Amino acid sequence: MNQTKKFILITGVSTGIGYGAVGDFLEKGYHVVGSVRSEKDQARLAKEFPQDFTCLLFDLTKSEEIEKAAQEVTTLLEGRLLTALVNNAGGTAPGPIQLLEKDEFERQIQINLFGTRNVTNAFLPHLGATSERPSGQKPGKIIMVSSISGVLNTPINGTYCVSKHAIESLGEVYRRELHMYGIDVISIQPGPIQSEIWNKNQNQMDRFMNSDYGPMIKSVEDILEEAREISQPTKVISQLIEKIIDARNPRTAYIVHSRKWIVTALAHWLPARWVDFLISRQFKQK
């Protein structure tokens, strides 16, 4: 058994940030444990990454699948701990919060919030959340792939904002509760990153075009176009994850955005009424 091998668990590795991170962390010599929710993706990735890669199969909304996967990881680790759990899996259900179907809103919260909590709880023992941790074993870190939507609310993307604000809160609560085990919890708050998330949501808002929100939705198209232009490659997130893992005292949260200071000002510094005004201008409400 190789005692020096590092293990990282990344959820949602079928595409985008998670997929990029698998390749990046394999290159760095890690054993990567990834999760997908379809057997097709599992077979594809097993073929693509034949070595040092374990692909778990679970949907974030299915507790029994998560528990089964946690048992597989117990067998794989043979008493070792994960260096990090990266809670990356998630999605979005865009549309005006008034008009989204009840089920759509609830399912998104179920995936992004309840699912992330279920996964975190299931893998906490593998990060060292136990008073009987063998000496010399370093506790793992939990990294939440949140979003700038976790610190800045924007229209027509409300469900996502609510769920990512909840993720920020969840992470902070975990950090303050897990301090006794030495497990740190850090949030990554990306702006636009090149991933499949953009394609997965194409045309989802067409059904709202004839509502009162039509003009706002039209301006979303311009905003998304601009976001695509400034979007960054997934590698920037992998590099930040590595930096967080290596840091003795990482910050609690990192905004990743090519216009980081504008986002920081909007999210943290400016009065909410000013932000309301600026957003209403951007969404051409006046």
Ligand X SMILES: NC(=O)c1ccc[n+]([C@@H]2O[C@H](COP(=O)([O-])OP(=O)(O)OC[C@H]3O[C@@H](n4cnc5c(N)ncnc54)[C@H](OP(=O)(O)O)[C@@H]3O)[C@@H](O)[C@H]2O)c1
Chain contacts with ligand X (rule: CB under 6 A): 12-18, 37-38, 59-61, 88-91, 111, 115, 145, 147, 190, 192-193, 195-197, 200
Q: Choose between 83 and 118: whose C-beta lies nearer to ligand X.
A: 118
Q: Choose between 86 and 124: whose C-beta lies nearer to ligand X.
A: 86
Tokens 């409400």 belong to which residue?
Answer: 285
Least separation, in Å, of the C-beta of 79 and ligand X? 27
- The SS3 assignment for 52 reads coil
Q: Choose between 200 and 243: whose C-beta lies nearer to ligand X.
A: 200
Strand-pair partners of 33: 9, 54
How many other C-beta atoms lie within 10 A of the C-beta of residue 123?
A: 23
- How many angstroms separate the Cα of 81 from the Cα of each of 23, 67, 136, 149, 182? 21, 17, 11, 31, 13
Least separation, in Å, of the C-beta of 55 and ligand X? 11
Least separation, in Å, of the C-beta of 103 and ligand X? 14
Q: Choose between 105 and 181: whose C-beta lies nearer to ligand X.
A: 105
Residues 141/120, Cβ–Cβ less than 8 Å: no
Q: What share of the chain is helix, strand, coil (3-state, %, to 5)?
A: 50, 15, 35
Q: Choose between 60 and 185: whose C-beta lies nearer to ligand X.
A: 60
Least separation, in Å, of the C-beta of 196 and ligand X? 4
Least separation, in Å, of the C-beta of 280 and ligand X? 23
Contacts of 228 (CB under 8 A, 6+ apart): 192, 198
Least separation, in Å, of the C-beta of 134 and ligand X? 32
Contacts of 282 (CB under 8 A, 6+ apart): 219, 223
Q: Choose between 37 and 126: whose C-beta lies nearer to ligand X.
A: 37
Burial of residue 50, with CB atoms counted within 10 A of its CB: 0-12 exposed, 13-18 middle, 19 or more buried: exposed
Tokens 């090149």 belong to which residue?
Answer: 194
Residue of closest CB approach to ligand X = 16
Residues 149/107, Cβ–Cβ less than 8 Å: no
